[in-house]
Copies of this chain bind each other. A is one copy, B any other.
Amino acid sequence: MLELAILGLLHDSPMHGYELRKRLHELLGTLRAFSYGSLYPTLRRLQRAGLIVEEQPTTPAPDRTAARSWGKRGKRVYKLTAEGKERFAELLADAGPQTWDDEGFGVHMAFFSRTPAEVRMRILEGRRRRVEERREGLRSTLARAGEQIDRYTRELHRMGLESSEREVRWLNELIAEEQREQRGPAS
């Protein structure tokens, strides 16, 4: 998932690790943190795989507004390669099981505007199925164990159930919206 996010952000413009992390934070807004401990190793991996390359600051770029006098040290700026773009498209098109769990779904949805409509649909529906399962699991636990289980645990499950119900409703709206658009794409 980090891979998808990095590739997606780098698709817009070349960036270095630190900035990447900030953008990641804006994008995913506390939905997912992604520490340096995973960011930098992942960048390395992507570089080794040839999906991104380190960009030498040949042009010191004095045209940039408020250009910082950077470039003296460190600051490895990465950009996507052709393979990287391909890989990004692949990841976007993937609607596998990992895209319906909490983190996976959130990250992928953040790139929905670049995801093909039918993949979007499959992800949304997969996520809905997943949350419905969770909801049913909680319902049956609460119904079965009912009174006998621990008061706090019950409260915890009750809250989880409510959240699931709300998310299903939310997903239903999103799906309906998607259908509306697919039928009448005449903006």
Contact = CB atoms under 8 A, between A and B. Distances in A.
Interface in A18-66: 26-27, 29-31
Contact of A141 (B26, B109, B134): B26
Contacts of A134: 30
Contact of A152 (B113, B151, B163): B113
A147 interface: no
Dominant secondary structure at the A interface: helix
Interface stretch (A74-82, A91-99, A154-162): A154-162
Given A29-B160, A31-B160, A110-B150, A155 B174 contact: yes
Interface in A133-187: 133-134, 137-138, 141, 145, 150-153, 155-157, 159-160, 162-163, 166-167, 170, 174
The number of times this chain is found in the oligomer is 2
A29 B141 contact: yes
A106 interface: yes
Interface in A108-138: 109-110, 112-113, 133-134, 137-138
Interface residues of A, number: 31
Contact of A109 (B112, B152, B163): B152
Interface of A: 26-27, 29-31, 106, 109-110, 112-113, 133-134, 137-138, 141, 145, 150-153, 155-157, 159-160, 162-163, 166-167, 170, 174
